[in-house]
Structure 1
Amino acid sequence: MATTTAQSITKTEMMSSTDISSATTVETVLNFYAPPDDGSAPYNVVATQERNYRQDARIVGIHDLRGYETLPVLDKNGFAFDLNAPPFTYADFFEKDGTQKTDFIKKEYYPRVQEAVKRHTGGSNVVIFDHTVRLPNSARTPVSRVHIDQSLRASAERVKLHGGDDPGFVNQYVSGQKRFEIVNYWKPLAKVTRDPLAVADARTINPASLVGVQHRYPNRTGETVGVKYDAGQQFYFLSGMDVTDAMLIKCADNQTNVPAKQIPHSAFALPEQTGPGRVSIEVRTLVFFD
């Protein structure tokens, strides 16, 4: 795997630029979607991680936005950085025996995530519907496959599931009368030295590259999105993310006139990466606008 950067740009030049595509790149492999061999509908099973579709491994250049941190905009690029994230660490969220402090996370971390998502989106109400902590040597390791957490259809189902008991409120958003988004708030619980998270720039995503994938729970079937490789796609990450850095990723937006609606993302291997496995938490939020 190549380990050289594709460009040589000084820090001063980086900071004076307003074009994030000028950032230096690292070459690595991303795993894209390839359809099932038998032509059947693609699916994955949540409980067992079984899936019937294939992977298409491609070498790509991923732009490092260190020095450009403040430039990405959620509604334009589909992602943004929170450089003042709540500084919780692994030790805050886990007992010494490795038991997750779920109640603590919900009581102490969730409100801070809601505040941050409101601040970055301008939404009037933020509802958290789940979170995932990713750990090395666990059942929930970083996902090294380019994907989107929810399809637009599945995002409307999330509104029905988590929007509350008032049908009038829910219908305003499901019908498109009012705007909602799904935003993933992703944060490391220790400094990232391997398997960072890459995100695509919304402006480079061809809708034809996005494929709905059945996401089978024991009691219902949702839908995620597989992403086919396209040479026009551009991917980004922020090197050296630490516990006060977070990334907001837009997974869905029900407004037709917003450029950034669904943002592919994936963990990836840094060239010659070392250090312990990545530890991170992602909180999935529904954002409602008045």
Structure 2
Amino acid sequence: MSQPKDVEADLVFWRRLESQRMEVDFTKMAPEKCMAAMIEPDDVRTVHIQDIRGKETQYNLKLNGFQYVWHDMPELDGVAEQSHVENVVVPKTEALRELSLIIWSRTGATRTVTFAHRVRCLSEDEAMLANNRAPAHSVHSDFTPAGALKNLESVVPDVAEREELLKRRILAINVWRPLKTVQRDPLAVCDWATLNWQEDRVTNRMVLPHGWHELGKYAFRESQGWYYLSEQQPQEALIFTQFDSESEQADEGGMTLPHTAFVVPGTETLPARESIEIKMFAFL
């Protein structure tokens, strides 16, 4: 494995807005206008991204919102087949989530529910939103606290069952791993201890025909700490928190972790990154 390689790279943030909320209604505007509205506040900043190669164990879910876990998984071969993802890869990843909680030195979850997975295998993709198979080059979190709880309604539709689960600590976990060694568009994560939650996070609500989805966008701040793992291997799974209802650092009802793909200068013509992400709720 090569020596650590810190990178100066351009990340796409949002400009600081007068309001910390933005809503785009896909039921009232053409999709192309909605997409234009969603990128209009873009603010590109050059950021120092630290390579934690050799220091992976210094970062964990509790303190930083992310951690890397060595987890060999031969079942990743043939992952491009959707049935293979659903029948083999997803169950194996749920087992990895249990391992992450043990490493986290927290009480293990008594129940997990996988609700989404996606294989990214293109450098560019004209598909929009959830169908996009290219890396996401903007700083975001998959949910806001309200967005995570709204998503839980569809994952656990029974009202009585959901009300019981809401009495417990709820996590939304993203398990992200390469299918081949990452040569292009690696994933960077922001140490959530370095964020100013009241000022950095902007709520981005998308109103859709079947309801709404709310994710987090983030404004740039000099004090933010950004990290990645160079030449990440399929055995090196990245686990990061997309919602924690009872984090010690939480405000406004829960913590979410910003992340983004980024371009390492000089790698633009290398093969497209191939990766899989699997999202799940964990109930403690």
Asked whether the two chains share a fold, i.e. TM above 0.5, the reply is yes
Q: Which residue of 1 aligns with 2:104?
A: none
Equivalenced residue count is: 259
Aligned match of 1:183? 173
Of the three residues 141, 144, 150, the one matched with 1:148 is 141
Q: Counterparts of 2:98 and 2:270 in 1: how far apart (Å)?
A: 34
Distance 1:256-1:245 versus aligned 2 partners, 3 A rule? closer
Deviations 1:10-56 (A, max 9, x none): x7xxxxxxxxxxx8621111000136899993438597671414210
- 2:119 alignment counterpart: 133
Equivalent pair of 2:13/2:45 in contact (CA under 8 Å)? yes
Q: Does 1:86 align with 2:86?
A: no
Q: Which runs of 5+ in 2 are unaligned?
A: 102-107, 128-132
Tell me whether 1:286 sits opposite 2:266 in the alignment: no
In 2, distance between residues paired with 1:62 and 1:116?
27
**Pairwise CA distance, 1:86:** 2.2
Residue 54 of structure 2 aligns to which amino acid in structure 1? G
Amino acid at match of 2:211: R
Fraction of identical pairs, as percent? 26
Q: Which residue number in structure 2 is paired with residue 7 of structure 1?
A: none
What TM-score does the superposition give when structure 2 sets the normalisation length?
A: 0.83
Residue aligning to 1:116: 96
Within 5 A, what are the aligned runs for 1:59-70? Answer: 59-70=46-57
Which residue in the other structure is 2:35 paired with? 50
2:12–2:138 Cα contact (<8 Å) kept: yes
Aligned to 1:241: 232
Distance 2:151 2:192 in 1: 22
- Cα distance 1:69–1:149, how it changes in 2: closer, same or farther (>3 A)? same
Shift of 1:148: 0.4
Gaps of 5+ in 1: 1-10, 12-22, 95-100
Structure 1 residues 87-126: Cα deviation after superposition (integer angstroms, max 9, x where no partner): 444x5123xxxxxx22221110111111111221222211
Task: Work out the CA distance in 2 between the residues paired with 1:149 and 1:241.
Answer: 22
Instruction: Determine the C-alpha separation between the residues in 2 that align with 1:38 and 1:127.
Output: 34
Superposition deviation, residue 222 in structure 1: 1.0
User: In the alignment, does 2:182 pair up with 1:192?
Assistant: yes
Q: Which residue of 2 aligns with 1:171?
A: 163
Question: 1:185-264 residue pairs with structure 2 within 5 A?
Answer: 185-207=175-197, 208-258=199-249, 261-264=255-258
Question: RMSD in angstroms over aligned alpha carbons?
Answer: 2.7
3-state SS of paired residue (2:35) = coil
Decide whether the 8 Å contact of 2:141 with 2:257 is kept in 1: yes
CA displacement 1:148-182 (0-9 Å, x = unmatched): 001100111122221253x33311333xx210111
Match of 2:12 among 28, 31, 38: 31
What CA distance in whole angstroms lies between the structure 2 residues aligned with 1:86 and 1:152? 32
CA 32–92 in structure 1, closer or farther in 2 if over 3 Å, else same: same
1:265: how far off? 0.2
Write the letter of the residue equivalent to 1:277.
A
Cα pair 1:44 1:51 within 8 Å, conserved: no
Cα distance in 2 between the residues matched to 1:26 and 1:43: 34
Whether the aligned pair in 2 keeps the contact of 1:227 and 1:264 (CA below 8 Å) is yes
CA distance in 1, matches of 2:62, 2:182: 26
Q: Which stretch of structure 1 is more off in the superposition, 191-200 or 137-146?
A: 137-146
How far, CA to CA, are the matches of 1:272 and 1:231 in structure 2?
25
CA contact (8 A) 2:202 2:218 kept: yes
